[in-house]
Amino acid sequence: MSRLQILNENGDILDKNLEPDLSKETLIKALKVMIQVRMLNDKGIRLQRQGRVGFHIFTVGQEAHVGTAIALEEDDWVYPAYREHGIALYRGIEVADIVNHLFANERDPQKGRRLPGLFGDPKIKFVNPSAPIGTQIVQAAGTAYASKYRGDGGVTTVFFGDGATSSNDFHNGMNFGAVTKSPAIFICMNNQWAISVPLSKQTAQTEIYKKAVAYGMPGVQIDGNDIFAFYHAVKEATERARNGEGPTLIEAVTYRVGPHTSSDDPTRYRTDDEVKKWRVKDPIERFQKYLINKGYLSKKDIDAMYNEFEEQLNDLVDEADKLPKPELSTMFDDVFKEIPPFLQEQKEELLSFAEEEM
Amino acid sequence: MSRLQILNENGDILDKNLEPDLSKETLIKALKVMIQVRMLNDKGIRLQRQGRVGFHIFTVGQEAHVGTAIALEEDDWVYPAYREHGIALYRGIEVADIVNHLFANERDPQKGRRLPGLFGDPKIKFVNPSAPIGTQIVQAAGTAYASKYRGDGGVTTVFFGDGATSSNDFHNGMNFGAVTKSPAIFICMNNQWAISVPLSKQTAQTEIYKKAVAYGMPGVQIDGNDIFAFYHAVKEATERARNGEGPTLIEAVTYRVGPHTSSDDPTRYRTDDEVKKWRVKDPIERFQKYLINKGYLSKKDIDAMYNEFEEQLNDLVDEADKLPKPELSTMFDDVFKEIPPFLQEQKEELLSFAEEEM
Amino acid sequence: MVKMNIIEAIHNAMELQMRENPDVLVLGEDVGPNGGVFGTTRGLIDEFGEMRVIDTPLSESGIVGFAVGMAVAGLKPIAEIQFIDFIWPAADQIFSELAKFRYRSGGLFPAPMVIRSPYGGGVKGAHYHSQSPEAYFAHTPGIKVVVPSNPYDAKGLLISAIKDDDPVLFMEPKRIYRAFKEDIPEESYEVPLGKANIVKEGYDVTIVSFGAMLHVALDAAEEAEKEGISCEVIDLRSIVPLDIETIGTSVKKTGRFISVTEAPKTAGFSAELSALVGERWIEYMESPILRVTGYDTPFPFVLEHEYMPSTGRVLKAIRESFNY
Amino acid sequence: MVKMNIIEAIHNAMELQMRENPDVLVLGEDVGPNGGVFGTTRGLIDEFGEMRVIDTPLSESGIVGFAVGMAVAGLKPIAEIQFIDFIWPAADQIFSELAKFRYRSGGLFPAPMVIRSPYGGGVKGAHYHSQSPEAYFAHTPGIKVVVPSNPYDAKGLLISAIKDDDPVLFMEPKRIYRAFKEDIPEESYEVPLGKANIVKEGYDVTIVSFGAMLHVALDAAEEAEKEGISCEVIDLRSIVPLDIETIGTSVKKTGRFISVTEAPKTAGFSAELSALVGERWIEYMESPILRVTGYDTPFPFVLEHEYMPSTGRVLKAIRESFNY
Ligand SMILES: Cc1ncc(C[n+]2csc(CCOP(=O)(O)OP(=O)(O)O)c2C)c(N)n1
Ligand SMILES: Cc1ncc(C[n+]2csc(CCOP(=O)(O)OP(=O)(O)O)c2C)c(N)n1
Ligand SMILES: [Mg+2]
Ligand SMILES: [Mg+2]
């Protein structure tokens, strides 16, 4: 089997039969979201460098994942890894929620409890990501099972990296998903690196989609920088899933163009040449070209999209930056649904200490 | 790929080219060991039913694993699951050590610390098995790596069940073994059941050898009741391993003819018909037929083997049964190499309590 | 009223809850046609079908992680870990995921579910079928830990656990699974989480325990009574949340304290109990704050009864405490 | 003598041991060309090659289990867990395997090795890059647990750990990885496992801590000194085996006790310390046995400094203890 590519690096459709039948509005929305992801990334870097935000997770080069969101229904579930902000944006997360989260301020829906970039939103069934690698893969299989059990027709999609295929819960998720024939879609964002560890040191089976064989599940490999390949592969997988035919593994071959996070220095372990090779495969560039060729958008329209979001983002950042951090007392919320007496006591102790001395 | 069978159920060689070139002595020794395994099993059941021994692990029908031992060198390592007593016997464990272990008496090399059947012996590089399923698989990969690191030419073989393929450490062992190209041989004793869970509920890839694909490793399927198939497949795998070509997964298709352990009642979950179907595939019967056809042994010789071991076993049992359990003070040994002060204190406390009141 | 042992009470709790709430399902190794290796799920698959009573692959991380995903979607899974000694492959799903799901999401993603598992020694289970790891879970904020000591509580606590809005680890004292029967109501009832039970009143020494050890504590207390030492015996029932008030009331009355737990001593839950007494009620104490526990060795096999707290060892501690 | 911070001292210990003993090797995520995410293994791959400095797949269970297999074969692996928060996938290999290998085999199969891992909060690491799980390991018989608080000890304790005949978990206080440098010998030396260090003598209150919290305890003790309260500060260095004697000698002298640990309070290692005091030296105690700890919540992010023991909170406890 060969790697599925529909939209090539020049923005051309390789096989007209595979060109997705999507409305202009949908396509433009998808581009808008990809641009937002890119700009959130760039803004995040700057904020982190300025010390206004504590940490940054790079997403550059992996924005084609937005194709997944186009293929899903509103009631489907998504478990992101941590570079799939596009799914959340496409499904309608408030950009303000993301920005407040980055600043971990009092309006952060997650109450300032997570590293910037690790957010979820139940309104759009975008599950709050963990940091331990791989754990979400088997959880997603369980959520998919819930849809099967209820017969609600829902599908659960889960993202994870190439490094995550080595985790315990990749094995568990694939196995439990397949043996229960749950409507799950496993999407490996194979960006070639797990921090400094290259794929060749991660596994001796570097064609990750072939790992599906071990679980009796179909596996497909796609160009992970091609939004249409995503759309196509996910759409097919949802159909199988909704037909009761069980899960699919999709390997999206892409590249982590940026550092792992703001704490990482990739010059220690990889060459610039390799990175440059991938820059030309940029998923946004090619999609823009396609839309321009198609006559859906002009260069100017696209510039306007950037400018519009830039403004929105700047406003949100200004506002978010001014807000205080969550109140001290919130530390004790959400450990349990209700604060039990022993924790209430600890809370009072801290609050009274704070009053006296802080 | 088809399932490798060399010796069929009637004791006939299917393909003369594959008949192993082994000496009469070796073959007779192998039969003797298989018989010992069977008799240890039968004796163990009786002792357990009489309440003289606390627990029993059934081995009936899985004795063809002895073929592995023939293929290995003395310095190779073996990690058993818990039904591979034949490897230990072939490699020269003292039967008395096993019997004393079953009685958990003061001569038990493991000092009465384990359930009957879970024993190891460093003299024969037969590693003490765990009870948590699967953990040994990745340990074996590490031991194999040690041989590679030292360049000592050693190979590490590890056994595990079909149920164990679902464990975290199957995934880890296969992955670490393959990516480091360590000289490991992974042998899955696919006996169709994990207690009451049939293979079809364990995994959607019921051809277990195909799981090797996920790790970029060769996988082979053999008749797990055929001692020659074991010998052949393991021999080939050792050659690859010693050549630096990395590990192999061998799926030995066999059947757990008995209950899981003395605590299990298989009538709850499977039919007698299924069991009967497998009884005729008995690995010992067919090997005996082969040796008789070959003119290496007569029916009488074989009977003598049984009788001889029966006597040896009875003597050992009589002796073992009389011995007291390990001394109270041994409870505190081997937590650490030396007993640290805080533990010494606990030891003295218990000993003085025992003196006063027990 | 029906007479039930702990196994039957647990079975009954699940059966009733499954009838009442279609979101409740059961998963684990051998829970289907085999009915669980101890029989706690026997027959459930016949009544509720294999979509709701799931024989899983052999992976505890799989079982818990899969259940967490169900809980995220609003189901209420009861995950069985065959022996609690085998819970460690699931440690990441419990410590990093289940316990933190609600908190880390700012309350947006609760994932309440129940993990049931037999624990404890005294059944010739050796090394890996005997351990009592409550302390690991008690030290993990976000998960409740419950241990019944009798059939009535087993049923009522398990029903509460299933109905609870938080993750609950329900530890089952397998040593006394079938030790005795009690009259218990046929219908559903709850024993609240977080409330200890004063099993025996007394005024000289407070003894705190739970699960199978409660009975050892009680036996020792009765022996002590004969020697004229009056012990108050408290059954914690919940380890998290802990009923600190009931312990405090007792300690203030008796001025003497012993906890009885079977896990290794160092950093066991008994240490937490001692620490509470030492930080809150030291002024009332008339003698050292004692622990009777397992020793700091892995769980042995033939010497298990010497390893575990026995009536004799508890009695010795009572005398020591009283005669100090 | 050379000036080194903790990172450098740890690096140096490994480098020297690898030069001395060909059986020592290093494995973990990103330990190769990247030199570890904190730089503790930087350059080792250049000197020792990739057979001895192994970049592993992303699996902690794999890392520890693979290392256990090396140890069974007589090698001495040093396994790095990138952050101790990510140790849970390896829980089964540590709790069920590594810690029990020697015991369960009757002493026939020892498997000594070292697990190194950065731990602790105060570095804006949030939920999963901040935890301090020493209690889980201290409660597991068969594994030693060591935590240095300064470069000298870091090097000497790590060398002892590598040479030790038992498995050792070596927890590295990442908050003070680069906080200060000390003059330490260039050559190999050992700081014995199981020996605490009296960092500051005093006679009013005993404060016991370890790792990064030691410095918080010390700061508070110095503040207290100004108020006329003399604190003795003990750095445990080893949590298992614990130097009970040194603690006892101090407590008998001061009659007051506080432990300072950053993990959640319930069933933390501080509970063990309190329990020891309460069972052994209660007659000497002049005030409640106190703990200053993290709270019983998952580790927060923006509120981390409020969550963790601070000089202020320790000082408050000192005053409480002294003025009781
Ligand atoms: C269990 C666990 N171990 C280690 C880490 C540290 N860590 C964070 S991300 C990462 C690499 C992940 O690689 P991959 O899965 O390929 O995803 P990518 O970052 O490339 O998107 C590592 C090792 C972690 N978060 N969790
Ligand atoms: C981690 C773990 N979970 C559960 C168990 C309980 N258990 C013991 S053996 C077994 C089934 C093993 O099946 P398989 O691997 O196929 O080996 P077989 O017994 O068939 O030889 C189970 C579930 C265990 N020992 N370890
Ligand atoms: Mg990656
Ligand atoms: Mg099996």
User: What φ, ψ does residue B299 adopt, rounded to 5°?
Assistant: -55, -40
Q: Looking at the domain that runs over D197-322, which CATH code has it been given?
A: 3.40.50.920
Q: Write down the pLDDT at residue A356.
A: 86
pLDDT in tens, A253-281: 999 999 999 999 999 999 999 999 999 99
The residue assigned the tokens 């019997």 is B99
User: What φ, ψ does residue A254 adopt, rounded to 5°?
Assistant: -140, -160
Burial B89-107 (b: 16+ CB within 10 A, else e): bbbebebebbbbbbbbbeb
Q: Is the dihedral of CA C74, C76, C82, C84 positive or negative?
A: positive
The two structure tokens encoding residue A347? 């809370």
Helix, strand, coil percentages (3-state) for chain B, rounded to 5, are 50, 10, 40
pLDDT in tens, B129-151: 999 999 999 999 999 999 999 99
Q: What is the DSSP string of C204-272?
A: SEEEEE-HHHHHHHHHHHHHHHHTT--EEEEE-SEEES--HHHHHHHHHHH--EEEEEEEESTT-HHHH
For ligand 2, mutation pick of B133, B165, B201 (most atoms within 8 Å of CB): B133
User: Before D241, cis peptide (omega within 30)?
Assistant: yes
Q: Could you tell me the residue range of the domain that residue B190 belongs to?
A: 16-326
User: What φ, ψ does residue D199 adopt, rounded to 5°?
Assistant: -80, -30
**Closest by alpha carbon to A53, among A114, A137, A2?**
A114
Classify strands C144-146 and C238-240 as parallel, antiparallel or unpaired: antiparallel
End-to-end CA distance of chain D: 46
- The answer to whether the D2-184 and D197-322 domains have the same CATH topology is yes
* Residue % of chain B over a pLDDT of 70: 99
Determine contact: D32 vs chain A, CB below 8 A: yes
Please tell me the distance in Å from C43's CA to the nearest CA on chain B.
11
- A288 with A340, same domain: the answer is no
- C266 Cβ neighbours under 8 A, 6+ residues apart: B342, C296, D138, D139, D141, D240, D242, D272
Q: In whole angstroms, give the CA distance from residue D271 to residue D282.
A: 15
End-to-end CA distance of chain B: 64
* Residue % of chain C over a pLDDT of 70: 100
CB A230 within 8 A of CB A67: yes
- On the CB side of C137, CA atoms within 13 Å amount to 30
Check residue A63 and report its DSSP letter.
Answer: G
CB C80 within 8 A of CB C116: yes
Q: Is residue B8 domain-resident?
A: no
Residue B357 above 80 pLDDT?
A: no
CB A162 within 8 A of CB A199: yes
Q: Write down the pLDDT at residue A121.
A: 98
Return the residue of C nearest to B267 by Cα. C34
- Which secondary-structure segment (H or E) carries A99? helix A95-103
What is Dmax (Cα atoms) for chain D? Answer: 60
* Residue % of chain B over a pLDDT of 90: 98
Instruction: Report chain C residues whose CB lies below 8 A from the CB of A147.
Output: 73
**How large is the average pLDDT for residues A116-142?**
97
Q: Is residue A2 domain-resident?
A: no
Q: Write down the pLDDT at residue B1.
A: 55
Residue from the list A111, A120, A138 with its beta carbon closest to the beta carbon of C61? A138
B161 bridge partner residues: B189
Q: Number of residue pairs across B and D with CB atoms under 8 Å?
A: 146
pLDDT in tens, B300-350: 999 999 999 999 999 999 999 999 999 999 999 999 999 999 999 999 999
CB A65 within 8 A of CB A250: no
Q: In whole angstroms, give the CA distance from residue A21 to residue D140.
A: 60
- CATH number, domain of B205, equals 3.40.50.970
Q: Write down the pLDDT at residue C204.
A: 98
Q: Is the CB of A199 under 6 A from ligand 1?
A: no
Residues of B with a known catalytic role:
256, 260, 269
Residue B2 above 90 pLDDT?
A: no
pLDDT in tens, A61-98: 999 999 999 999 999 999 999 999 999 999 999 999 99
**What's the mean pLDDT when you consider all of chain B?**
97
Instruction: Report chain D residues whose CB lies below 8 A from the CB of B175.
Output: 57, 59, 62
If one counts every other C-beta atom within 10 angstroms of the C-beta of residue C83, the result is: 21
Residue C184 above 80 pLDDT?
A: yes
Q: Is the dihedral of CA C74, A97, A56, D125 positive or negative?
A: negative
For ligand 1, mutation pick of D82, D88, D117 (most atoms within 8 Å of CB): D82
Residue C197 above 70 pLDDT?
A: yes
Instruction: Report chain C residues whose CB lies below 8 A from the CB of A111.
Output: 106-107
Determine contact: A217 vs chain B, CB below 8 A: yes
Confidence of residue A245 (pLDDT cuts 50, 70, 90): very high
Q: In whole angstroms, give the CA distance from residue A188 to residue A194.
A: 12
8 Å CB contact of A203 and B246: no
Q: In whole angstroms, give the CA distance from residue C221 to residue A77.
A: 55
Residue A355 burial class via C-beta count within 10 angstroms: exposed 0-12, middle 13-18, buried 19 and up:
exposed
8 Å CB contact of A131 and D55: no
Residue A213 above 70 pLDDT?
A: yes
The two structure tokens encoding residue B160? 């595990």
Q: In whole angstroms, give the CA distance from residue A159 to residue A144.
A: 14
Residue A358 above 90 pLDDT?
A: no
- A274 with A348, same domain: the answer is no
End-to-end CA distance of chain C: 46
Of all atoms in ligand 1, which is nearest to the CA of residue A82?
Answer: 21
The amino acid present at B186, given as its one-letter code, is F
3-state DSSP assignment of residue C4:
strand
Q: ∠ CA(D64), CA(D69), CA(D73), 5° rounding?
A: 140
Q: Write down the pLDDT at residue D197.
A: 98
Which of B107, B211, B269 would you mutate first to test chain C, the one with the most C CBs within 10 A? B269
CB C1 within 8 A of CB C183: yes
Looking at the domain covering D2-184, what would its CATH class be? alpha beta
Does the pTM surpass 0.95? The reply is yes
CB A230 within 8 A of CB A66: yes
Q: Is the CB of B96 under 6 A from ligand 2?
A: no
How many angstroms separate the alpha carbon of residue B285 from the centre of ligand 2? 28
- A135 with A183, same domain: the answer is yes
- On the CB side of A246, CA atoms within 13 Å amount to 18
How many angstroms separate the alpha carbon of residue B263 from the centre of ligand 3? 46
CB B23 within 8 A of CB B5: no
Residue D108 above 80 pLDDT?
A: yes
CB C12 within 8 A of CB C4: yes
**What's the mean pLDDT when you consider all of chain C?**
98
Residue C311 above 80 pLDDT?
A: yes
- Where do the domains of chain D lie? 2-184, 197-322
3-state DSSP assignment of residue A298:
coil
Q: What's the structural domain count of chain B? A: 2
- A295 with A256, same domain: the answer is yes
- A335 with A314, same domain: the answer is no
The amino acid present at D322, given as its one-letter code, is F
Q: Is residue B7 domain-resident?
A: no
Q: Is residue A209 domain-resident?
A: yes
- B264 with B116, same domain: the answer is yes
The residue assigned the tokens 């037969």 is B126
- B185 with B85, same domain: the answer is yes
- A89 with A194, same domain: the answer is yes
The residue assigned the tokens 């924005």 is A63
- A290 with A356, same domain: the answer is no
Instruction: Report chain B residues whose CB lies below 8 A from the CB of C32.
Output: 196-197, 269
For ligand 2, mutation pick of B115, B136, B191, B195 (most atoms within 8 Å of CB): B195
Residue B259 above 70 pLDDT?
A: yes
**R_g of chain C computed on alpha carbons:** 19
The two structure tokens encoding residue C124? 């010739």
Q: Is the CB of D82 under 6 A from ligand 1?
A: yes
- B286 Cβ neighbours under 8 A, 6+ residues apart: B7, B8, B9, B10, B11, B225, B226
- B65 with B209, same domain: the answer is yes
CB C46 within 8 A of CB B153: no
**Closest by alpha carbon to D136, among C82, C143, B130, C138?**
C138
Q: Per DSSP, which regions of chain A are E strands?
A: 77-79, 156-161, 184-190, 193-194, 197-198, 219-223, 248-253
* Residue % of chain C over a pLDDT of 90: 100
**Closest by alpha carbon to D118, among D133, D97, D103?**
D133
- B42 Cβ neighbours under 8 A, 6+ residues apart: none
Residues of D with a known catalytic role:
129
Q: Write down the pLDDT at residue D57.
A: 98
* Residue % of chain D over a pLDDT of 70: 100
D170 bridge partner residues: D116, D146
Q: Is residue B159 domain-resident?
A: yes
Please tell me the distance in Å from A213's CA to the nearest CA on chain D.
20
Long-range contacts of A347-353 (CB under 8 A, 24+ apart): A347/D295, A350/D295, A350/D306, A353/D312, A353/D313, A353/D316
If one counts every other C-beta atom within 10 angstroms of the C-beta of residue A152, the result is: 11
- A268 with A343, same domain: the answer is no
Q: In whole angstroms, give the CA distance from residue B308 to residue B321.
A: 20
pLDDT in tens, C159-176: 999 999 999 999 999 999
Confidence of residue B61 (pLDDT cuts 50, 70, 90): very high
CB B310 within 8 A of CB B53: no
Closest protein CA for atom 6 of ligand 2: C82
**What's the mean pLDDT when you consider all of chain D?**
98
Q: Is residue A298 domain-resident?
A: yes
User: What φ, ψ does residue D183 adopt, rounded to 5°?
Assistant: -75, 120
The amino acid present at A326, given as its one-letter code, is P
The residue assigned the tokens 């352990």 is B261
The two structure tokens encoding residue C196? 């200890």
Q: Write down the pLDDT at residue C139.
A: 98
If one counts every other C-beta atom within 10 angstroms of the C-beta of residue C324, the result is: 13
- D174 Cβ neighbours under 8 A, 6+ residues apart: D38, D118, D119, D120, D123, D212
- B339 with B209, same domain: the answer is no
